Structure 1
């Protein structure tokens, strides 16, 4: 079933578990991710990044495809625009039926972040579309700015931000980063920030940069109040590595077979993250609902 992200995250927030939000750009990834959720009987969120949407994953095609896949299954599936920052791209996703929009104005000063976020909230909430915002700034692993504590989310400011914007979920900066961490390096998360923000806001919290952050970090983050864990880099890397290895094994493999196997590779990566998140069998919490 195709649902709003709020519908999924409200249950995760109430019952203290995390939901995987996996980035997809084509049919194989979308089916792999949704099938992983079906096999683990878990709710799932599909992310499409603004840049991904612009370069390849056209919203008019992707949204209809994901809706079609979603209505064929019993597990709740939401579609979220990840890191929306350009208002034209945001409205494009909105018009094409995304059930959630992430507005990322975290690079701006507080007041400007609030004003931009409020504009998106007004648009989205008029049609029951969920809004995720970001306060603090989740940077890039290759620049090590995940260690820059001045970019971390301030709990007191988070309370004010949510009161000012009425966003449905908040992405927090606590030590993770986007992209691939250096080999054998696991980020150090500030779990106290997560706990404090959850204590004082009681809304769903989002961890960006889930890839490579380690199972213990993710489990502890969920215990402290994270309800949505974004995973992109690990899925893309596992699919790339699979294709490389499979073609070396059999350069003449039939293309259809290769795509079917690629879909399975994506599925297994996301299944492993679903198991860490605590969302296995949580699809039982949801009655039939269609966005």
Structure 2
């Protein structure tokens, strides 16, 4: 079926009391696998391409320095892959821009085929954040595309997003933000952190989403709350990576119990990236351990060289530059290259499948209203 916007998927989650996982992808094989595992559980699916993932998928291996043109190219590549695998899928699929850093990045994603975008103005003063977010909302809603904003600062590192300390979201400011911008969803800061080093035994401040939800209900405002920086960082995978020659230190996530307890407090979308990165990295290291002759293979030996050189890294983008055509377009996915993409697919299924079950979206696909972008644009125009 055609891709849908984020709004109806989160409306269903709010109405029925579960959370929708949102999973980041950086390669065609990952997009295929995320959709496939959601189909297996008959769950709606939210695939996310981060702003710099678009640069990477545009062929920029030094994606931190990606240009707008790189992002435009990459957005189309991701969207083409997601549309290909969603076309005959029985579940609703959303393609969402994660951490759009400016208006132009959001426009590039929408023009490339994204059906939902996040504009991250959380580092700006409140009024400037409102102004930027409102500008994106106006552009996106006219095209039926939903918008997520952010208020409050999460500590940690993820792509270009960095902050040394967290600033918790003020519930009253969140309500004002919804009212002034018209966003469909808002990422809040309530104790989560970006990256793999969140600290041991993190306790989320669930009173923050509770307060926001109660105030919004009182004011008659509509909108979903989003939990960023919510990877669980499975310790067994970290241990396996290190046993396979990796050197990952101080990697701790948010416990599944803490995340599940936040759902009835008002959290409807939970973002996960690091768990997928870890599972894929473990599988790649395992492949070369079990098949040492592949370390000198003409097609994939370069992947091993980067794995061996970057022992502390767990972002697959650090290891995949030798296979960029396969990453970007899915071409050349045969022979020994297929061993790499199989490892990636299995890692995605392992990380994502568990959380679909934990977050409660199993069997929820029929609950989502299948409104196309044109229909959503007409609805937004009436609001």
Same fold (TM over 0.5): yes
Alignment partners' CA distance in 1, 2:36 and 2:79: 17
Q: Tell me which residue corresponds to 2:230.
A: 210
Shift, 1:204, TM fit = 1.0
- Decide which moves more: 30-39 or 170-179: 30-39
The equivalences for 1:84-99 within 5 A come to 84-99=100-115
Alignment partners' CA distance in 1, 2:163 and 2:96: 27
Shift, 1:86, TM fit = 2.3
The equivalences for 1:165-176 within 5 A come to 165-176=181-192
Alignment partners' CA distance in 2, 1:182 and 1:161: 27
Shift, 1:235, TM fit = 0.4
Do the aligned residues in 2 keep the contact of 1:118 with 1:165 (CA within 8 Å)? yes
Do the aligned residues in 2 keep the contact of 1:36 with 1:268 (CA within 8 Å)? no
Alignment partners' CA distance in 2, 1:164 and 1:182: 32
Q: Tell me which residue corresponds to 2:276.
A: 235
* 1:258 paired to 2:336: no
Alignment partners' CA distance in 2, 1:261 and 1:84: 29
Alignment partners' CA distance in 1, 2:91 and 2:148: 21
Over 3 Å counting, the alpha-carbon distance change for 1:9 and 1:287 in structure 2 is closer
Shift, 1:280, TM fit = 0.7
Specify every segment of 5 or more residues in structure 2 that has no aligned partner in the other structure, as ranges: 59-73, 218-222, 233-253, 295-335, 374-383
Alignment partners' CA distance in 2, 1:100 and 1:217: 27
Shift, 1:68, TM fit = 1.6
* 1:195 paired to 2:210: yes
Do the aligned residues in 1 keep the contact of 2:171 with 2:211 (CA within 8 Å)? yes
- Deviation track 1:89-111 (CA, whole Å, cap 9, x = no partner) reads 21111111210010100001100
Q: Tell me which residue corresponds to 1:20.
A: 21
Over 3 Å counting, the alpha-carbon distance change for 1:119 and 1:287 in structure 2 is closer
Over 3 Å counting, the alpha-carbon distance change for 1:156 and 1:287 in structure 2 is closer
Alignment partners' CA distance in 2, 1:252 and 1:287: 51
TM-score by length of 1: 0.93
Alignment partners' CA distance in 2, 1:14 and 1:247: 46
Shift, 1:87, TM fit = 2.1
Shift, 1:182, TM fit = 5.7
* 1:152 paired to 2:152: no
Higher relative contact order (CA 8 A, sep 6+): 1
Match of 1:81 among 76, 97, 112: 97
Alignment partners' CA distance in 1, 2:31 and 2:6: 16
- Across the aligned residues of Structure 1 and Structure 2, the Cα RMSD in angstroms comes to 1.8
Shift, 1:255, TM fit = 2.6
* 1:275 paired to 2:290: no
TM-score by length of 2: 0.72
Alignment partners' CA distance in 2, 1:115 and 1:35: 38
Alignment partners' CA distance in 1, 2:18 and 2:361: 6
- Deviation track 1:203-235 (CA, whole Å, cap 9, x = no partner) reads 211000111211101101111111110000110
Do the aligned residues in 1 keep the contact of 2:8 with 2:370 (CA within 8 Å)? no
Alignment partners' CA distance in 1, 2:202 and 2:163: 10
Runs (4 or more) in structure 1 with deviation over 2 Å come to 141-146, 251-255, 286-291
Match of 2:292, SS state, is coil
Alignment partners' CA distance in 1, 2:16 and 2:82: 26
Shift, 1:286, TM fit = 3.1
The count of aligned residue pairs is: 287
Alignment partners' CA distance in 1, 2:371 and 2:87: 10
- Deviation track 1:107-139 (CA, whole Å, cap 9, x = no partner) reads 011000000001000000101100000011122
Alignment partners' CA distance in 2, 1:92 and 1:55: 14
Q: Tell me which residue corresponds to 1:219.
A: 260
Alignment partners' CA distance in 2, 1:189 and 1:288: 33
